[in-house]
Every structure is written in C-alpha cells, then in structure tokens.
Amino acid sequence: MTPLKLWLTADAPTSRWQAQAAQAYAIWRSFARNPLAVLGALIVGTLIVVAIFAPVLAPYTPVGQNLSMRLMPPSAEHWLGTDELGRDILSRILYGARITLLIVVMVAVISAPIGLIIGAVAGYFGGWTDRVLMAITDVFLSLPKLIMALAFVAALGAGLQNAIIAIAITAWPAYARIARAETLTFRNSEFIAAVQLQGASHLRVIGVHVLPLCMSSTIIRVTLDMAGIILTAAGLGFLGLGAQPPLPEWGAMISRGRSFILDQWWVATMPGFAIIIVSLGFCFLGDGLRDVLDPRQRDGR
C-alpha cells in the first residue's frame, strides 16, 4: 500500500480535510467497482466532450448542403451516410450533441431549484403550507407529462427555448416530493433546533442547512430523469415542435428520415442510436450514483 492509500483509508482521520478526502475516496472506490456506472459516466463524459469539440471532431459542416451526394449509404467518406440534402449525418449527430446537452442542462437548472425550494419549504414549515404546496405538486404529478408538454408548446409556440420551458414545467414535481421527504427526516433533529436557537432566520435555515442535505437525492433523481427528458425533447423535435431546421436536433433528424425509412434506412436510424446510447448512459450513471450516494433508496437490488 502506498502512503497515500494508507492516509486515505485510515481508521482515525486526524483532520476534517483527511476525513472528507477519505469519504470521497470511498465513494469513488465503490463507484468504480460498478462497471455499468463507469460506462454511464464515460458515455455522459463523451457527450460533453463531443458537444464542446464538435467543430474539431466533425468531418463536415452540419448545415452545408451537397445535392450531388444526397442519400448516400454509409461509406468510408461518410461513415453514417448522408441525408436528403447531402449533409453528412455523422457531423450532424456530433453537432446535435450540443442541443441535447443544452436541453438537459437547462431543464435541470430550471426545474431542480423550483422543486427543491417548494419541497423544502413544504417540509420545513409543515401544516397548511405543506398541504397546499403538496396538493399543487400532486395535481402536476398526476397529469400526463408528454401531453402537458405538448399543450404548453402549443400555447407558447414551437422552438427550442419553449420546448425547454415546457419540459421544465412538467419535471419539477418529482423533485419537490423528494426534497420534502428528505426535509421531513431531519426537520425535528437537534442541529436544526440549535441553529434556530442561535437566531437564524427561516430563510437561512432552509438555504444553508436544509437544502444542501436534499442535494444528493435530488442529483440522483435528476440524473435518472435525464433519459426521460431526452426522449420528451426528441419527441417534440420529431413532431416539429422543438428545435427548428436546419438545427441538427436528433428527434427532428429522425422525422426528416421518416419518408426514406424503407429505402434509405440510415437517415432515420442513426440519430435514434445516438438518443438510445445517451439515454442509457444517463440511466447507468444514475443507477450507479444511487447505489453509491444513497443506499437507502435502492430498489430491486
């Protein structure tokens, strides 16, 4: 054993810093033991790298048309073939990673804080605040998500930005439920009472002491929800309600390839594989994070 490893696995850490490092090391160790979780992390990491370096990685431009090369099957020149305007499908999928990443990040950034705050406030104050907030949450939770997203997009108008807003509106209730459940478990514990006795305001107790403790289960849930968010976004794109052409959104690309599915199968099929791989990646990563960060919530073993 190297000294570093001994230091990280010490039974009695001598400083807070060492204890934190040891905990991070233990989490990393159990994460790395789960091959699917590592695969998921690799896929999500690849998505981020591809999104950032798309211009470097893509062999062609995603929008440049070349009508003499339309609907070419996969070949050495065009690995995944070309679409009906002669655009390289591989390049469009690589650029499309940017749109997918933008959607999932924006939906998470909008819906997770809303859910967290509503759930934490409901759990912290209890009583009528709790009942009313949870009744609203329940109403949203018992409505069909895809249909509601469709109705919101219909009202707001088609487009990438409105699709993100519509998905975020349907995504927050699950996080509110989780934040409330977490808050209830330590609502009456002594450290909360101690902070209150020191004169901390409600705002401070919730913001500084309650919310951070709700974070890990929310992060797990958000990661697991990513696959669903990607599928909903792709569905909106497929219907022509999401990102508009010529943006290389994966769902919209499948929709364009629909007319050629029988003869030029690659146009619609390839973007579908991209969606499946990325969604699976988020599922694997979420499952792995749940096992590591929150063994209590494991289901189905």
Interface with other proteins includes 140 (CB under 8 A)? yes
Interface with other proteins includes 147 (CB under 8 A)? yes
How many residues at the interface with other proteins, by CB under 8 A? Answer: 65
CA 39 and chain centroid, separation: 16
Nearest partner of 25 among 35, 36, 15, 17, judged by Cα: 17
Among 136, 200, 213, 293, binds other proteins (CB under 8 A): 136
Ordered DSSP codes for the chain: --HHHHHHT-SS-SSHHHHHHHHHHHHHHHHHT-HHHHHHHHHHHHHHHHHHHHHHH-SS-SS---GGGTTPPS-SSSTT-B-TT--BHHHHHHHHHHHHHHHHHHHHHHHHHHHHHHHHHHHHH-HHHHHHHHHHHHHHHTS-HHHHHHHHHHHH-SSHHHHHHHHHHHHHHHHHHHHHHHHHHHTTSHHHHHHHHTT--HHHIIIIIIHHHHHHHHHHHHHHHHHHHHHHHHHHHHTTSSSPTTS--HHHHHHHHGGGTTT-THHHHHHHHHHHHHHHHHHHHHHHHHHHH-GGG----
Binders of other proteins in range 249-288 (CB under 8 A): 251, 254, 257-258, 261-262, 265, 268-269, 272, 275-276, 279-280, 283-284, 287
Residue 125 CB, nearest distance to other proteins (Å)?
12
For residues 146-174, one letter each, b for 16 or more C-beta atoms within 10 angstroms of the residue's C-beta and e for the rest, the string is: eeebbebbeeeebbbebbbbbbbbbbbbb
Candidates 55-63, 105-113, 151-159, 191-199; binding stretch for other proteins (CB under 8 A): 151-159
Candidates 18-26, 63-71, 75-83, 174-182; binding stretch for other proteins (CB under 8 A): 174-182
Task: Decide whether 92 or 221 has the Cβ nearer to other proteins.
Answer: 221
Residue 284 CB, nearest distance to other proteins (Å)?
8
Among 54, 118, 229, 292, binds other proteins (CB under 8 A): 229
Among 8, 160, 238, 288, binds other proteins (CB under 8 A): 238
Candidates 5-13, 97-105, 131-139, 190-198; binding stretch for other proteins (CB under 8 A): 131-139
Residue 267 CB, nearest distance to other proteins (Å)?
10
Among 1, 56, 135, 197, binds other proteins (CB under 8 A): 135
Task: Decide whether 88 or 225 has the Cβ nearer to other proteins.
Answer: 225
Interface with other proteins includes 159 (CB under 8 A)? no
In the complex, which residues of this chain contact other proteins (CB under 8 A)? Answer: 130-132, 134-140, 142-148, 150-156, 174, 177-178, 180-181, 184, 221, 224-225, 227-229, 231-232, 234-235, 238-241, 251, 254, 257-258, 261-262, 265, 268-269, 272, 275-276, 279-280, 283-284, 287, 297, 299-301
